[in-house]
Amino acid sequence: MAPETGADEERRLVLGVARSAKDNAWRERLDAGQSRFAMAIAQLNGLPDVLARVMAARGVEPDHAEEFLEPSLRSLMPDPSTLVDMDKAVSRVADAVQANRKIAIFGDYDVDGATSSAVFAKYLQWLGQDPVIHIPDRIIEGYGPNGPAIEALHAGGADLLVTLDCGSTSHEAFETAERLGLDVVVIDHHQVGESLPDVVALVNPNRQDDLSGQGHLAAVGVTFLFLVGLNRELRQRGAFANTRQPDLMALLDLVALGTVCDVVPLQGLNRAYVTRGLAVMHQRRNYGLTALADVARVNGKPAPYHLGFLVGPRINAGGRIGDAALGARLLTTENPHEARQIAEQLNQLNAERQAMEAEMLEQASAEAFLAVQERDPAVLLTGSDDWHPGIVGLIASRLKEEHRRPAFAISFDKDGKGTGSGRSIPGVDLGKAVREAVETGLLEKGGGHAMAAGLTVLRQKASELESFFNTVLKEDVEQASAHRELKIDAALTATGATLDLLELLEKAGPYGAGHAEPVFAFPSHRISFADVVGNGHVRATLAAGDGSTLKAICFKAADKPHGQMLLEGRGKNLHVAGSLSIDTWQGTPKVQLRVLDVADPQKTKL
C-alpha cells in the first residue's frame, strides 16, 4: 500500500480536528480498504452500516462476518495437543488423578494466576480431589516458584506440583523439586528464552519451539485448553464410566475474568472465551465471583469494563497489599457466607490500596513534573523509601498517561535496593531496554515486554539508569509522541445514540484490549450542563440541534484539559468524542457517553 500523502491525512481528519483538548488529531478508524470491506459486509449480510464499519475497522473480512458475530468455542478452539508438551502434561496429571495422588497448585498473585488456579482446582474438586493452592506473597517470596514453598508443599504430602501463570524460568526452584523427587508440570504463557527448566512438561504457547499460534492466550486460557485435553484423556481412560464428567463450560466465567484482566487481545479464541464467559457470569453460579460483583456494585449485564475496572482490581488488592491467596480462595469456595466475607475483605483492601495509591501518586507526580521541567527525560524514573512495592505499577501507569512517555515507579528498601515497575507507550519497547540495562550491569535484574517491565536497581545507579534510558529510547519516545491521535468509528448525534444502537454494537463485542470499543464523534453539540461530581469526574449534558440530549461522564478529568474545556464550555457548542454505554442508575437503562476527548470547533487546527 502506498504511503498516505498530506492530502490523504487531511481527508481522514474527523470534523477537521487536528488538535483537540488532549492534543489529539481525530482520525477515521477505517482506511480506504476497510471502508470497501464495510460496504461489502453490509451488503452481503444485510447489516446496518454502523455495525459493518465497526466490524471492518477491527479486521473482519466480508466472508467471515457471520462467524465473527457468533464466536464459537467449537470452531475457534485448537486441539490441545498442538501445544508442545501438552500430551505429557495431560498424561502426568491424569495419572495423579486416577491414583488419587495429592496435587499442589502454585499460581501467580495476579488475577490471571488466581483464576488459573481456581479453574484447575474446581475441576479437580469435581473429580473428588482436594488440591492445595499456594499463591506466593509478592513482598516476601516475589514472583514465581521458590525453594522454601516447594519444600513446604512436598512436606504437606504433594505428589505432583502444577505451576500456573509462572514457572517457565524457575530453574533454581525446580532443582529443589527434583532433589525432593517432586514431579513438576508448568502451564504458563510468559515470554521465555531457549533455556527451559528440567520438568515433566512445560506447556507455554510462547516457548520458542511452540508453533500452535496460541501465544495471545492468557494463562487461564492455556489452563482451560489443558483441562479440555485432560478431560478427553480421562474420558478415553474410562474415568467417567460411572460418574458424570465435569462441566467445563461452567468455568468460563473465571476464564473470561482472567483473560480480560491480563489485557490480552480480545480476538479469536480469547473473544469466544469472554463472550461465553460473560453469559456464564450473568447466571451467578460462582459464589465468590457473585459476592465480589455485588460488593463492587456491578449493575446489569456484566461486561469487560466491569471485570477490568471493578472486579479485577479487588482481587489484585489481595496480592498487592494483603493476603495474596484471598483471590483464589474466593473463586473456589462453595460457601456463600465465606464468599461474602472474603469479598468484603478484598473490597476493604482495595479501598486501602486506593488511599495508598493517591498518596503515592501525589508524591510521584510532583517528582515527575520537576524532572520534566528540568531534564525532560525520555523515560521518567520516580522513587521513594515510603512507597509500597505492590502499588508501584499502578503509579507508573498513571505517570505514563499524564506525561505521555514511559515511566517507572520504584520502591526502595532500607538498604537502598529498589523494586520498580514500568509502563510504556505504543512504539516504545520498554522490556528490551530493561534487558539491555541488565546486560550493561546497571540493574540487578529486570525483564518484561514492550508495554510493561520490572526491575531491581540500586539507589546509587538510578541517575545513571535514567541517562541510559534517555540514550537508547529518546528517539523512539519522540516519534511515538509525535503521532497522537484518537481513532473515530463514526459521527453521531444525540438523537442517534439509542439503546437500539448499543444492542447492535454489542453484536461486535465484547470490546477490550486488541478489540477497541467503538468511539463516536458528536459534532458541535451544545453543552447545556457541566459540573464536577464525585472524585474529580465531570458530568455533562450534550444537546443536539433538534433538542435531543445525551448524558455524559468524563472520569477523573476535572483538572485535565478536556474536563476543563467541558466545564468552561457551558452554553457553548463543542465537538465531543467518546464511547457509549448503558447507565442503569435508578433502575431505568439509559444511554450514556463516556467522554474521551473534546475539541473547540473554532480551534481545531495545529
Element (H, E) at 407: strand 407-412
Residues 342/329, Cβ–Cβ less than 8 Å: yes
CA–CA separation, 541 and 484 (whole Å) = 27
pTM: 0.88
Domain count, the chain: 4
Residues 510/266, Cβ–Cβ less than 8 Å: yes
Please state the φ and ψ torsions of residue 438, each to the nearest 5 degrees. -65, -45
Among 481, 496, 511, identify where a domain stops.
Answer: 481
Dmax of the chain from CA atoms? 77
Pair (267, 292) in one structural domain: yes
CA–CA separation, 3 and 391 (whole Å) = 43
CA–CA separation, 332 and 123 (whole Å) = 10
CA–CA separation, 549 and 14 (whole Å) = 22
Its sign, for the CA torsion 240, 245, 246, 249, is positive
Pair (419, 540) in one structural domain: no
CA–CA separation, 204 and 374 (whole Å) = 45
Nearest to 73 by CA among 261, 236, 223, 277: 277
Nearest to 237 by CA among 318, 160, 402, 127: 127
Instruction: Report the CATH number that the domain containing residue 384 is assigned in CATH.
Output: 3.10.310.30
Residues 219/165, Cβ–Cβ less than 8 Å: yes
CA–CA separation, 302 and 97 (whole Å) = 35
Element (H, E) at 417: strand 417-423
Within-domain flag for 495:
yes
Task: Give the other-Cβ count within 10 Å of 446's Cβ.
Answer: 22
Instruction: Report the CATH number that the domain containing residue 341 is assigned in CATH.
Output: 3.90.1640.30
Task: State the amino acid at position 577 in one-letter form.
Answer: A
Alpha helix (H) ranges present in 420-461? 430-439
Which set of grid coordinates corresponds to residue 158? 504433594
CA–CA separation, 165 and 112 (whole Å) = 7
CA–CA separation, 280 and 289 (whole Å) = 11
CA–CA separation, 15 and 79 (whole Å) = 48
CA–CA separation, 98 and 243 (whole Å) = 13
pLDDT digits (tens, 9 = 90+) for 197-208: 999 999 999 999
Which set of grid coordinates corresponds to residue 469? 534510558
Q: Among all chains, which residue has been given the C-alpha cell 500430551?
A: 87
* Residues of the chain with confidence (pLDDT) below 50: 1-11
Within-domain flag for 530:
yes
Please state the φ and ψ torsions of residue 440, each to the nearest 5 degrees. -85, -5
At CA 155, angle to CA 153 and CA 156, rounded to 5? Answer: 65
Which set of grid coordinates corresponds to residue 262? 491480563
CA–CA separation, 425 and 169 (whole Å) = 26
Within-domain flag for 368:
no
Within-domain flag for 364:
no
Per-residue CA distances from 214 to 90, 268, 347, 406, 509 (Å): 18, 10, 34, 28, 21
Pair (155, 280) in one structural domain: yes
pLDDT value, residue 517: 93
Q: Tell me the three state secondary structure of residue 528.
A: strand
Nearest to 226 by CA among 247, 243, 248, 254: 248
Pair (293, 380) in one structural domain: no
Pair (308, 216) in one structural domain: yes
Residues 479/427, Cβ–Cβ less than 8 Å: yes
Pair (383, 519) in one structural domain: no
Task: Give the other-Cβ count within 10 Å of 359's Cβ.
Answer: 14
Within-domain flag for 362:
no
Pair (382, 494) in one structural domain: no
Instruction: Report the CATH number that the domain containing residue 499 is assigned in CATH.
Output: 2.40.50.140
CA–CA separation, 563 and 554 (whole Å) = 7
pLDDT digits (tens, 9 = 90+) for 83-139: 999 999 999 999 999 999 999 999 998 999 999 999 999 999 999 999 999 999 888
Within-domain flag for 360:
no
Nearest to 396 by CA among 418, 423, 363, 377: 423
Pair (305, 261) in one structural domain: yes
Residues 473/428, Cβ–Cβ less than 8 Å: yes
Q: Among all chains, which residue has been given the C-alpha cell 488440591?
A: 131
Taking each helix axis from N to C end, the angle separating 86-98 and 219-236, rounded to the nearest 10 degrees, works out to 60
Residues 527/555, Cβ–Cβ less than 8 Å: no
Which set of grid coordinates corresponds to residue 346? 478484598
Which set of grid coordinates corresponds to residue 184? 513438576
Within-domain flag for 238:
yes
Which set of grid coordinates corresponds to residue 521? 464523534
At CA 603, angle to CA 597 and CA 606, rounded to 5? Answer: 90
CA–CA separation, 525 and 540 (whole Å) = 11
Pair (274, 197) in one structural domain: yes
Pair (412, 293) in one structural domain: no
Task: Give the other-Cβ count within 10 Å of 337's Cβ.
Answer: 10
Q: Tell me the three state secondary structure of residue 458.
A: strand
Name the residue range of residue 63's domain: 31-69
Pair (60, 144) in one structural domain: no
Pair (579, 434) in one structural domain: no
Its sign, for the CA torsion 345, 218, 257, 29, is positive
Q: Tell me the three state secondary structure of residue 516.
A: coil
